[in-house]
Amino acid sequence: GAVVSQHPSRVICKSGTSVKIECRSLDFQATTMFWYRQFPKQSLMLMATSNEGSKATYEQGVEKDKFLINHASLTLSTLTVTSAHPEDSSFYICSASEGAGYGYTFGSGTRLTVV
Amino acid sequence: GDSVTQMEGPVTLSEEAFLTINCTYTATGYPSLFWYVQYPGEGLQLLLKATKADDKGSNKGFEATYRKETTSFHLEKGSVQVSDSAVYFCALSDRWSGGSNYKLTFGKGTLLTVNP
């Protein structure tokens, strides 16, 4: 079945630094990738949707300059949290899809802690 | 806009008990419906799905039926196991939402704990 690899699984960084999270589709071409942030008590918030080769579409309230998303190839998307602050600490999850009707495959998530 | 409402947890059951997690939705189009499961510290895994009215999705003993008349997609399992302890998310993808890249809209999740 479809597999999405997300790295790193855990990262601790200092306040003010940037962190990059990678999401790779291992056995299919992901035309669309989605980035979510999961808050305490489970709720998932869609941050942005990215299509290969074009700019990401951000959800309302998500800072584009803070959460940089790149989808340069059909198998790789990256989320960079720039100038991280403690309030950015969260669980970030990516999801990839080959297209409408193909379903969604999720990465295993990245636990970001900003100290 | 699209939304998903699922019963709030946490839900605590004894092994072999019957499970129901309610889920209702609102959508502008004709959505596909999903249940995802998240085990501690992991991402989401697709549990089951249904793409049209009256479809029944099933997997690992779990079932859910797409009820258009009641806009519901309740998750059921006849006999839960300790290994079913996880967070369960109901979600929809509205294929007619146009320009939204068929994104998933999630409920808030329900934590299930099954005790031996």
Residue bearing the bigger pLDDT, B101 or B105: B105
The CA-CA-CA angle for residues A81, A84, A90, to 5°, reads 75
> Between A and B, how many CB-CB pairs are < 8 A?
52
How far, in Å, are A41, B84, B107 from residue B61 at the CA level? 26, 10, 22
**Cβ neighbours of A108 in B, within 8 Å:** 42-43
The alpha-carbon gap from B6 to the nearest alpha carbon of chain A, in Å, equals 11
Q: What is the rounded distance in angstroms from the CA atom of residue A110 to the CA atom of residue A107? A: 9
Chosen from A9, A10, A106, A111 to mutate, greatest number of chain B CBs within 10 A:
A106
- Among the partner-chain residues A100, A103, A108, the one whose CB lies closest to the CB of B43 is A108
pLDDT bracket for residue B41 (50, 70, 90): confident
Chosen from B4, B103, B111 to mutate, greatest number of chain A CBs within 10 A:
B103
pLDDT bracket for residue B99 (50, 70, 90): very low
| Subunit contact B42:A109, Cβ cutoff 8 A | yes
Q: Does A103 touch chain B (CB under 8 A)?
A: yes
Residue bearing the bigger pLDDT, B95 or B82: B82
Q: Where are the alpha helices (DSSP H) in chain A?
A: none
- Among the partner-chain residues B43, B89, B102, the one whose CB lies closest to the CB of A100 is B102
**Cβ neighbours of B102 in A, within 8 Å:** 32, 97, 100
Q: What is the rounded distance in angstroms from the CA atom of residue A8 to the CA atom of residue A14? A: 16
Question: What pLDDT is recorded for position A2?
Answer: 81
- Pairing mode of beta strands B19-21, A110-114: unpaired
Q: What is the rounded distance in angstroms from the CA atom of residue A92 to the CA atom of residue B50? A: 27
**Cβ neighbours of B95 in A, within 8 Å:** 100
Least trusted range by pLDDT, from A33-42, A75-84, B10-19, B49-58: A33-42
Q: What is the mean pLDDT of residues B23-34?
A: 90
Residue bearing the bigger pLDDT, B81 or A31: B81
Query: In the beta sheet, which residues pair with residue B59?
Result: B62
Q: Which of B112, B38, B109 is nearest to B80 (CA)?
A: B112
Query: In the beta sheet, which residues pair with residue B23?
Result: B6
| Subunit contact B104:A46, Cβ cutoff 8 A | yes
pLDDT tens digit at each of 115 positions of chain A: 788 999 999 999 999 999 999 999 998 888 889 999 998 776 788 999 988 878 899 999 999 999 999 988 889 999 999 999 999 999 999 999 887 666 789 999 999 999 9
Residue bearing the bigger pLDDT, B113 or A104: B113
**Cβ neighbours of B48 in A, within 8 Å:** none
Question: What pLDDT is recorded for position B98?
Answer: 42
Give helix then strand counts, H and E, for chain B.
Answer: 0, 12
Q: What is the rounded distance in angstroms from the CA atom of residue B37 to the CA atom of residue B106? A: 12
- Among the partner-chain residues A6, A42, A111, the one whose CB lies closest to the CB of B109 is A42
**Cβ neighbours of B31 in A, within 8 Å:** none
Q: How far apart are the first and last CA of chain B?
A: 41
Residue bearing the bigger pLDDT, A14 or B104: A14
